[in-house]
Amino acid sequence: MNTPLTANHDLPFVVLSYVISAVGAFVALTAIAQMRSTAGRQARLLNLLAAAVSLGGIGIWAMHFIGMLSLRLGMGVSYSLPETLVSLLAAIAASGVALGWVSRKRSLVRLLGGGLMLGTAVLLMHYLGMYGMRFNGFFQWSAGLVGASVAIAYGAAIAGLWLAFSAPSLPLRTAASLVIGVAVCAMHYTGMAAAGFVCTSPNPAAFPTGTGLVTSMELPVLVTTLSLGMTVVIAIDQFFQRFGSKSQASLQRAHLARQAR
């Protein structure tokens, strides 16, 4: 028996997913601003890595799975760890490549090329995450809404990269991060609206089990652990960079003072 299910979303989780996306974007924009003002190659690479992890790992990946937690189907859902973790790596890697590509030389060609790379990564991350869902049924896809999600992903990626390199001040970075958060969430929830869920089991509430599967009840622990881990790594990196730059500036001032004597 094939029973179509009505999907609803829990508003607090929807709001939280937007906040996470906007925060990830803000940290990424801050790292990019730091990268642009840094001369050393190693420091630039570290800031690029921090921006990639913030945008891809937190702003896109963590947002996606928190958004998935907002889904209310009345059906047990599990997630395959391989697809879930590969989608995380894909989002981070593509964010880093796109940001690095545009930062080398800002031009319309590089902006469009970087936007295509980043948009493809967002789509791959989203639909790979959806592919990793396990439930007692199957998807029915709306081609029109899938196409809309593709258009939003590419438009959002190009706009996001443009904002990333056009927002040097704190107010502009804040505004840009809010816009990027809206764009990422728009793509996610459009992609979710494209998926119809059809149950084929007399016991829809049963969670699929097996090797490498985590249930939707366990998903918050996984997402929280990975998100906090990425946040700590970024915070440590930014702290040591700022501490190192201040120490170097102090040494230079002391050296100039000795020379003046």
Digitized pLDDT (tens) for each residue of the chain, 261 residues in all? 688 888 889 999 899 999 999 988 888 888 888 887 776 788 788 888 888 988 888 889 999 989 988 888 888 889 999 988 888 888 899 889 888 888 877 788 888 888 888 888 889 889 988 888 898 889 999 999 999 999 999 998 888 888 888 877 888 888 888 888 898 999 999 999 999 999 888 887 888 888 889 888 878 778 878 877 787 777 776 666 665 555 444 545 544 555 555
Give the residue among 68, 74, 78, 72 at the shortest CA–CA distance from 203: 74
State which residues form the domain around 146. 3-260
Q: How many CB atoms lie within 10 A of CB 245?
A: 15
**Strand pairing partners for 215?**
78
Note whether 34 and 227 are within 8 A (CB). no
How wide is the angle at C-alpha 83 spanned by C-alphas 26 and 215, nearest 5°?
90
**59 touches 20 (CB < 8 A):** yes
d(CA 15, CA 37): 33
Query: How many domains does one find in the chain?
Result: 1
What is the 8-class DSSP label of residue 85?
H
Residue with structure tokens 């060609």?
109
Quote the pLDDT of residue 191.
93
- Residue 186: which of 151, 134, 223 has the closest Cα? 151
Whole-model pTM: value is 0.83
Exposure class string for 10-38: b at 16+ Cβ within 10 A, else e: eeebbebbbebbbbbbbbbbbbbbbbeeb
The pair of structure tokens assigned to 185 is 């969430």
- Distance, CA of 68 to CA of 131 (rounded, Å): 13
Please report, for residues 102, 150, 188, the alpha-carbon distance to residue 176 in angstroms, rounded to integers and kept in the order given.
17, 21, 18
CB of 26 closer than 8 Å to CB of 174: yes
Q: Provide the token pair at 77.
A: 């859902």
Q: Is 216 helix (H, G, I), strand (E, B) or coil?
A: coil
Residue that has been written with the tokens 């939707």 in this structure: 216
Of 103, 63, 100, nearest to 191 (Cα)?
A: 63
